[in-house]
Chains A and B, each alone.
Chain A
Amino acid sequence: MIWATAKRSTTWATPAVPGSAYLFSTLMADEKQALAQGLRRRDPELLDGLIEQYQYRLFRYLVYVTGSRERAEDFFQETWIRVLERGHQYDGKFKFEAWLFTIARNLVIDWQRQKKVQSLDALTDPEQGAPMQFADEDDPSPLHLMLQGEAEATVQASLAQLPAIYREVLLLRFQEELGLAEIAVVLAAPISTVKSRLYRGLEDLRGLLTGKSA
């Protein structure tokens, strides 16, 4: 089944020799094409599998972009509805997650436009709206509280202070591990813009973290 092969591919190691690298990239391309075909057919099994596979990454991205768990949950569901409806638009040129994040991001931007918010920052900056809400406040289990150490809280606080345009590229690059070209697709921006945002975001984050830890 397509889903099974797609899932297996995510666990493969990077090949060491050029011959196997070629084979690897060919297989990846084949799988992206198979995924594209499955999405065109609106294969329910495939969609179920994709929702499970990407639930954490998509939800995390949405939480950091919107700054609210509740909003992120709504956008999460709406994103998958769009994936179902517009599956025929995925051409397999880029990783599926790049396309998925593009859909999610566009939904957030559309929503912002309807709310007449002028920029991504206005949505998530604590000064302009509700404070960023990463943790599940309804369910602060003792285990979760214990695991969520001071370091994590520091990073989250620093992230919340970063302008959203820098926070977003940092997350896409270092959490989601997307390539520069893929981030450019998600942002619908030139690669040079992606790079400059990454450099600036990295410097700001480093400054915030070292400032806090000092």
Chain B
Amino acid sequence: MNGELHERAKTLIAQERVEGLSPAEREWLDAHLQECPPCADLAQATEQALRSLRGLSVPLPRALASRTQFRVRLRAQELQAREPRWRLLWVACGASWALGAATAPYVWRALEWLGHRAGVPNFLWEMGFGVWWALPAIVVAVVLLVENAGRAGDADWLRQRQ
């Protein structure tokens, strides 16, 4: 029975720091600690451990903030320089799609006529139509791949330093 009380006190001592206690739990714990020196020692040891943890210091490297600020500003400039190119790419892509949608029936007929004239199987010129339709997406995908490859190169410095 006594062991259960100490076990409960031990649980509540940890719970107080991790997720807090209800008023009833706090009242019970305070009363128990008043009359139980081993549990009071445990509570004190816990408090001491956390105080020590909070008091730990790690010296900062020289000019860490200013070096980082400089790098971040450089990167921001790079990103800013890329933005107009991206905007242009999306505008071109959108315009291309709109034009594609508007002219699709004519292109279909033109490809059909050409296919029949050249005597190629239907699936071949239909596939050609598909490629023509997907061309803007393919271009954008290629540009994105190239950009991502560039970013991966940017992060290489981190791996190389290890």
Q: Which residues of A pack against B, CB within 8 Å?
A: 42, 44, 47-48, 51-52, 55-56, 59-60, 63-64, 69-71, 73-78, 80-81, 83-85, 111, 114-115, 134-136, 139, 144, 147-148, 151-152, 154-156, 159, 170-171, 173-175, 180, 195, 198-199, 202-203, 205-206, 209-210
Contact = CB atoms under 8 A, between A and B. Distances in A.
A136 B62 CA distance: 10
Contact of B69 (A47, A78, A134, A144): A47
9 contacts: A56-B60, A71-B162, A81-B71, A111-B158, A147-B57, A159-B53, A206-B42, A210-B45, A210-B49
Contacts of B46: 202, 206
B71 A174 contact: no
A145 to B, nearest CB: 11
Contacts of B155: 78
Interface stretch (B72-80, B108-116, B127-135): B72-80
Interface of B: 14, 17-19, 42, 45-46, 48-50, 52-62, 64-65, 67-69, 71-73, 75-76, 79-80, 155, 158-159, 161-162
A159 B49 CA distance: 11
Contacts of B48: 209
Contact of B49 (A114, A147, A205): A205
Contact of A114 (B18, B55, B62, B159): B159
A166 B138 CA distance: 48
A174 B72 contact: no
B158 A59 contact: no
Contact of A203 (B14, B55, B58, B64): B14
B56 A155 contact: yes
3 nearest A-B pairs in the assembled complex, by CB-CB distance: A155-B52, A136-B59, A60-B58
A117 to B, nearest CB: 11
Nearest to A61: B58
Contacts of A209: 45, 48-49, 52
Contact of B64 (A76, A111, A135): A76
B62 to A, nearest CB: 8
B49 A81 contact: no
Given A44-B76, A111-B162, A175-B53, 13 more contacts: A59-B60, A59-B64, A60-B56, A74-B162, A75-B158, A80-B68, A83-B72, A84-B75, A111-B158, A148-B57, A159-B53, A170-B53, A173-B18
A201 to B, nearest CB: 10
Contacts of A59: 58, 60-61, 64
B45 A152 contact: no
Contact of B162 (A84, A115, A175): A115
B79 A202 contact: no
